Amino acid sequence: MTKVKEVIPHPDFKLTVIFEDNNISTIDMNFIFQESGPVVNPLKSYENFRLVFVDDGVITWPTGYDIGPQYLRELAS
């Protein structure tokens, strides 16, 4: 399984995701506005959304919300 090596957040709630195999995808994360809960609600503010980072190949936010590389590939399709 290919892991994520870098993630770049954008103000329109999209992410540029760079995988270890150097494939680059743009992921539209606006679906978070349809979700709710303590780990996703803070991400609806760009101030918090932009805090995304890569932890062992998985994109993660300080709230604990994360998305694995396999699902990111599906979202990019």
Angle at 61 between CA 67 and CA 71, to 5 degrees: 5
pTM of the model: 0.92
pLDDT at 77 over 80: no
For the stretch 1-21, pLDDT in tens is 789 999 999 999 999 999 999
Average pLDDT over residues 44-49: 98
Specify the CATH number of the domain 4-76.
3.30.2020
Average pLDDT over residues 40-50: 98
Q: How close are the terminal C-alpha atoms of the chain, in Å?
A: 17
pLDDT at 45 over 90: yes
How high is the mean pLDDT of the chain?
A: 95
CA distance 19 to 65: 19
Domains of the chain, residue spans: 4-76
